[in-house]
Structures are given as C-alpha cells and as structure tokens.
Structure 1
Amino acid sequence: MTSIELCPPTAALHDSWLASWDEWGTPDQDGASVFFASKFGWDLRTPQGFAQWVQLLNEMGEPGAVPPVGFAAQSTLWLERGGEYLGAVSLRHALVNDFLQEIGGHIGYGIRPAARGQGLAKLALAGALEQARALGLRRVLVTCNGSNIASAKTIEACGGEIERIVPREEIAEPFGAVEDLRRYWISL
C-alpha cells in the first residue's frame, strides 16, 4: 500500500481534489481554505483557477508572506496517497482577527468523506502542530463543532485540553452559530 504524505498543495492533484469537492457536497471543505478562491473570483473547477489558488496557498506559508487584507498568514498541507487528495490542514500563524480568536483558531483540518475513519485527521493535526513548533508558537487554539465527536477525540488525542464549550447563543455576531463550539488549547 502506498504511504500517506503531508505535502504542500499542488495543481497536479486537481482531478482528485475535484472528486473530493463533489464528495463534500458543499462549496467549502474544512481546512482547505476554499474561501480564498471565491475572494479572488477563481473558478476551482478550471485548471487555471485551481493553479492560482494553489499558488496563493503555498505563498501564504512562506516567511514574510503578506496575506490578503483581513486574513492571517498560514501554512497549508495536503494529505496525499498515490496521487489521491485525501484532505487538508491549515495553520494560521497568528490569531489576527476576532473570528480566529473566537471561532476559527490556529488550525483547521478536514478529511474527504471517502477517506474518513483511517486516522488521517490525527496525522493532519500532528503535522500542523509540528509546523507550529517550528514557527515558535507556544500554544495553539483548535476548535470544533460541539456535535463533532470525532474531531473532539482527534484534538484530545493530540494533547488538546478543553477550555470550554461555548453555547451557540454566546457566539458573538456577526459570527452566529448553528451549534455549540468546543474550544481547545494545545501546549507545544
């Protein structure tokens, strides 16, 4: 069996990434930072739009990178096995806005539906934690929806200590929430 790798985003995985997008059944994929493509009007279904998005994701992780206004510098890794895109993890280098401080945290990750249940989320989160250590971060905030027990277990398995469960009614506007939010800190 081919090994699973954490690697920088690459346009070579376009077809596999599109298959993952279809599996998600939504314009977004947790951890994938798809919102950057919509911000710039890039169509991820086209090779050109996808390549532009991949280039931005890679550039945002470089030392001294200047992210788009309102966003944090971040490093993104993709999980890949034999040319198949399996998921993504993004590490925000700092909590630069209210959304990241309250809801988003330092790390977001997502595994495509067909690849879940194989321990890939733990591999992704562990990879992001190594990046955080390399950047000199001392602790990171990781959040998940209250009902996402699999993600909560992943965070806890990687050393996450729950700060609190925020009732959806307490999540400040304009963020609003449809469910409670678990906030975890991981000391590095």
Structure 2
Amino acid sequence: MAVLTAPTIGWHVAWLEAHAEWGPGVHEDGFGLLPGDDVKSQAGFAAWVGRLTDDQQCTYWWIVESDKVLGGIALRHESHPLVSQSGHLGYGIRLSARGKGVATWAVARVVEEAHKLGIDEVLAVCQSYNTASAKTIERQGGILDKTSQESAVLRYWIGTSPPRV
C-alpha cells in the first residue's frame, strides 16, 4: 500500500532508482527538482531535500511503497508565484507505477491537505495531450475551465470539500 511521506535523505537510493526511470533531462513533476540540483551525491541530495522541506510556499511528498519511490506530488500554497500558471498541484509517477491508480490516490490525499490549509479549490493543470493526467484530475471531480478548452494546456478546478475517494 502506497503512502505519502515527506522527502528525507533516507530515500536517496530508492529516489535515484525512480529518477533513472525518467531518463536524463526529463522533467519530473511533483519533485521540485531544478536543473542545478545535484541529486547524485549525498551532500547534494541532502541540500535538495533541505530546500524542499524548508519551502514555505509548497509542500512536497514522495509517494512510496515498501522500499520504492513511486512518484512525487507537490501542493503549491496560495502564496506560491506559480499557482496561476502551473496550478496548485504538480505530480509525477515513475513509468513502472503508472496505470495502477497511484496518481488518483495521491491527488485525493493532497486535495484533502489543501482543504486543511483552507484552500477551497485547487487548480490542476496538464498538457492537453496528457489524457492520463486529465482523467486522474477528472476522477477527483476536476471541472475543466472553459477558457482552456482550445488550449494546449488544460486547467481544471477541484473543490476540496470532503469526501474524497
């Protein structure tokens, strides 16, 4: 059974395994990884994890099961400068864990967290070609913003009032 956990240095090896599945240079949503982050060395990984856990405008979780990192999910708080462009939610699931309901489960948990923070609606954004992500958002009650229907980027609003699936 998957759980959400705060990023810690103890997941270094498992995180690197998940990271390797994405391949070099590929963006991994939900992890807060920046191009200059050194995640391979212990010191660099620790510095990156420290930056994530110290972030006051975004909360990060890793989606883990047993000894594997399945993905990452982030909740940008209302004060975060990227909310209007990239939404409140960012998530990514490693290739081998896709199609198993992991993202749907994680999004539901994080929408609950948004409710606890007093966020009434979260904005979830995905590329129009990303049908799997669109379906994940729709399963959580995401309502397509009419202004994005003809766009390359779909913008959905999800109410945070319980209950969640």
Q: TM-score, normalised by structure 1?
A: 0.78
Structure 2 distance, partners of 1:57, 1:123, is: 22
User: Who is 1:147 aligned against?
Assistant: 129
What is the identity, as a one-letter code, of the residue corresponding to 2:70?
Answer: L
User: Which residue of 1 is the match for residue 163 of structure 2?
Assistant: none
- 1: distance between equivalents of 2:130 and 2:121? 22
* Equivalent position of 2:158 in the other structure: 186
Mapped partners of 1:77, 1:124: distance in 2? 9
SS at match of 1:44: coil
**CA RMSD in angstroms, aligned pairs only:** 1.6
Residue 166 of structure 1: how far off its partner (Å):
5.4
Please, which moves more after superposition, 108-117 or 12-21?
12-21
CA distance in 2: counterparts of 1:140 and 1:95, whole angstroms = 13
Is 1:48 the counterpart of 2:32 in the alignment? no
Taking the aligned partners of 1:55 and 1:9, their CA distance within structure 2 comes to 9
User: 1:26 Cα shift?
Assistant: 3.8
Which runs of structure 1 show a deviation greater than 4 angstroms over 4 or more consecutive aligned residues?
A: none
Q: TM-score, normalised by structure 2?
A: 0.89
> Cα distance, 1:95 vs. partner?
5.4
The verdict on how the C-alpha distance between 1:155 and 1:95 changes in structure 2, with shifts beyond 3 A counting, is farther
Matched position secondary structure for 2:145: strand
- Aligned with 1:80: secondary structure? strand
User: Structure 2: 5+ residue runs without aligned partners?
Assistant: 161-165
- Amino acid aligned to 1:58: T
- 1:83 corresponds to: 67
Aligned 1:116-155 pairs, distance under 5 A? 116-155=98-137
Distance 1:34 1:125 in 2: 19
Q: Does 1:17 align with 2:15?
A: yes
Could you tell me which of 84, 87, 94 is aligned with 1:101?
A: 84
What is the CA-CA distance between 1:123 and the residue it aligns to?
Answer: 1.4
**Residue deviations 1:6-25, cap 9 Å, x none?**
11111111112112111111
Flag structure 1 segments of 5+ consecutive residues without an equivalent.
Answer: 66-72, 169-179
Q: Describe the superposition over 1:119-176 as per-residue Cα deviations: whole angstroms up to 9, x where unpaired.
A: 00011111210110110011110010101111111000001000033555xxxxxxxx
d(CA) in 1 for partners of 2:77 and 2:10? 26
Establish whether residue 112 from structure 1 lines up as the match of residue 84 from structure 2. no
Give CA deviations for 1:15-47 in whole Å, capped at 9, x if unaligned: 121121111114321111102xx4xx4411111
